[in-house]
Amino acid sequence: MFARLAPALAASALAAGCSSPVDEPAAPRAETQGAEAGGLGRYGLLVMTHDHGERGVSVSGQFAAWTEQRRSEVLHALALPDMAWLVSAVPPTGRCRSVAAPRQPVADGAAGHIELLSVGELTVSGSDEVLRLAPRPFPRVLFSLGGVAYDADDPEALPFVPHGRYRVRAPGDELGALSAELSAPGDVRILGTSMDEAGLEVRWQGEQDAVLTLSRASGAETWGVQCRAPAGGRMVVPAEHLAEFGPGEASLSVGEITRRPVTVAGLPAVDLFFVSRDLAVVQIPASPANE
């Protein structure tokens, strides 16, 4: 049994420059890309997200420079565990892996600092509509985290066009100018779930390979199971991963994803993602393995 979640703004970040000539499926980027000696690093991540049932696309982004951190820790600090898992590694098709993320990895006054940099006004355009995002001061709730961020809280402002072409532009500011394009995946809809001794069967309507994620906040961490499903709209999350994950309520995301690595002056590594997904809440029952 599952209950559909109301769509929420996808957490994510930003990127830029001269893009590669073709879009790619979601694929991992090595932790060392964008990293320098001594825990210094710079990385940009842009995620455009369409949630099933919504008419539009949400956009948010950060361009980060940091000291005494790893890229995965930076993304977790920005409350982006799903994207940290997606960027760092994706299981082979038909396989799953257990994942975890600290919910508060950067304590105020601790070693290390994260600064979010500006590329100037960001514009994202689809077929006819243009979304303009000015850099917004990031609330400095921690001394070790500050700068500017980009987000669009109104997904109606940029309509979703399945397989449509979207363009991202910015003139540059603290970082160089950016110019990139990315094709949207199709619409994704969860059709149902069921449990048996093999695990959790998830069925959805889609067109290509998908990334399935189960997640749950627990204490100071977020726990998850991430799977890469082949095209076809069906996959079973194995019982052994569910036993490690544990019983109880969990958030389920099924998304088709396209990715384009791009470059921008001042950032050695940037990723542009488009995620088309559906969200639900599922109940993982207790079993002898996790009782």
Give the per-residue pLDDT at 68. Answer: 75
22, pLDDT greater than 50: no
Give the per-residue pLDDT at 11. Answer: 35
pTM of the model: 0.83
Give the per-residue pLDDT at 262. Answer: 87
Give the per-residue pLDDT at 283. Answer: 94
Concatenating the DSSP letter of every residue in 182-215 gives EE-----EEEEEEEETTEEEEEEE-SS-EEEEEE
Report the distance separating Cα 41 and Cα 32, nearest Å: 9
Is residue 195 in some structural domain?
yes
Give the per-residue pLDDT at 254. Answer: 96
Amino acid at position 12, single letter:
S
Is residue 124 in some structural domain?
yes
Is residue 145 in some structural domain?
yes
Q: Looking at residues 125-132, what average pLDDT do you find?
A: 87
Is residue 290 in some structural domain?
no
Q: Looking at residues 147-165, what average pLDDT do you find?
A: 85
Is residue 150 in some structural domain?
yes
Which range marks the domain in which residue 218 is found?
A: 2-284
Give the per-residue pLDDT at 120. Answer: 95
**SS3 label, residue 181:** strand
Is residue 271 in some structural domain?
yes
268, pLDDT greater than 60: yes
Report the distance separating Cα 169 and Cα 158, nearest Å: 15
Instruction: Compute and round to an integer the Cα radius of gyration of the chain.
Output: 19
Report the distance separating Cα 213 and Cα 252, nearest Å: 6
Give the per-residue pLDDT at 290. Answer: 47
- If one counts the domains in the chain, the total is 1
Provide the mean pLDDT of the chain: 80
57, pLDDT greater than 60: yes
172 Rama sector, left if φ>0, alpha if ψ -120 to 50, beta otherwise = left
Instruction: Specify the pairing of strand 145-152 against strand 210-218.
Output: unpaired
Between 70 and 22, name the one with better pLDDT.
Answer: 70
What is the torsional sign of CA 64, 19, 231, 275?
positive
pLDDT, one tens digit per residue, over 213-245 is 999 987 777 889 999 999 999 999 999 999 999
Residue with tokens 């394009």: 181
1, pLDDT greater than 60: no
Closest residue by Cα to residue 52 from 289, 285, 275, 286: 275
Give the per-residue pLDDT at 153. Answer: 65
The least confident of 39-48, 118-127, 177-186 is 39-48
Is residue 289 in some structural domain?
no
